[in-house]
A and B are shown apart, each in its own frame.
Chain A
């Protein structure tokens, strides 16, 4: 069973990972974006960690809803609303249970990913964060490790794709050959899940 503390640690692990990888995310965002993905997410997840520490929400749902709200209020760009919606909707789907099982979490995360697809209008193959999140959700039933591999493979598989959403889409064919920064940060989020489980 997963409790509020597990989700708090997931968010803390994500914040640490985003902080470590911020320069790489910004570098990936340079040729096909505007070179700020790492710094924007770092600002957001720093705010998430601070808010979770201050408010210590009591349930898994409350942890993720608060985290999502913080991202919406601090990140800006497209990533803020998209990541914020992912966590908020996942949190809302978890309701106010004190503990949830892996199955409930998988269903909630799927609701979160669906909400992101609806908000951003992206489908798998558009070279966005969905290309890491959708395969991860599909493999979540096989454990966090499997989801992590699926997310990382999904992120890597964006390299040959032509972007059809977001700022990279303006490049047309010139977006081909670059790994998508949003899919890369989404893989970090899922990888942090596997790291959290191991603790």
Chain B
């Protein structure tokens, strides 16, 4: 497997140095692995801190900036960051109005953010948390670690980020973030496995002519494997899996997300099929985003996230945002 890297041990640090060079609006602490918006702490504003394993770019570092995250903490590839990173980030961005930790539901992320919250609270920083768990592919939460956090993370970070930017208090920003998570569902498919730099070969075998339905974002296999399907058939399956779980009564914002190695040409074609299924099912679409936002290294495939919005959440979704990965209205 050829990769555009120096050595596997330095991929995260190398990427952070490159990010620093490309985005002067960010303060990138390469040594301590914290990405902070340059104007933080913003007086009176609730701060948002997220983080997770690297390999999902632009999530989370690409979403740091006005209207979204205050700081992000990248871990090793597919490995949650350590508590020291989030504690350091919280201290850097807290204006006194408190900090919301946005945590994807994986065992490691939950444990490390919990430990970070204790460290930050010891320093007198008020911490609130929201857990993102939107992946409907995990059906049995009694005998698993529970539903995974995937595409809904972008909606939580964007909508809660806009609310914080407006000056809403911590309790309200947290409640809104939870509402966004509860109103969002995702389903992903993989057309190929991904390759982590440390392993150098695909994380699972996906024979030619097959696809993996219900895949996660760490190269972990999904819930079933089938012979290759068309874009239209995949859209039918993915949207059905989501609508089996949630019945939107309000309009939805749609995210058609690439896993990293699927061209935009295919993603747009897939989006056309997703929109067809939604129209057939009577789901009203308020807004659609197509692109690579929550990726899984070089995995081919896509995920669909539906986020049901009321007027306030739609207004906050449309509010200005200025980050490396998401930018409008500015």
Contacts and interface: CB of A to CB of B under 8 A. Distances in A.
Mutual binders A and B: yes
Interface of A: 26, 30-31, 33-36, 39-40, 43, 72-82, 119-120, 162, 164-167, 169-172, 174
Given A35-B196, A166-B107, A167-B106, A80 B82 contact: yes
Interface centre among A82, A119, A171 (most CB of B within 10 A): A171
Interface string B139-183: 010011100100000000000000000000000000000000000
Contact of A165 (B107, B140, B203, B218): B107
A76 B144 contact: no
Interface centre among A76, A80, A81, A165 (most CB of B within 10 A): A76
Given A35-B196, A36-B77, 20 more contacts: A33-B220, A36-B78, A76-B53, A76-B75, A76-B80, A76-B81, A76-B108, A76-B112, A80-B112, A81-B111, A81-B112, A81-B115, A167-B220, A170-B145, A170-B216, A170-B220, A172-B140, A172-B144, A172-B223, A174-B221
- For the residues of B in contact with A, the DSSP-based class is loop
A82 B223 CA distance: 27
A72 B115 contact: yes
Contacts of B148: 170
Contacts, number: 106
Contacts of A31: 204
Interface in B180-230: 196, 198-199, 203-204, 216, 218-221, 223
B145 A165 contact: yes
Q: Which 6 pairs, one residue from A and one from B, show the smallest C-beta to C-beta distance?
A: A169-B144, A81-B111, A78-B108, A77-B108, A35-B199, A78-B107
Contacts of A82: 111
Contacts of A172: 140, 143-144, 223
B142 to A, nearest CB: 9
B64 to A, nearest CB: 19
Nearest to B84: A73
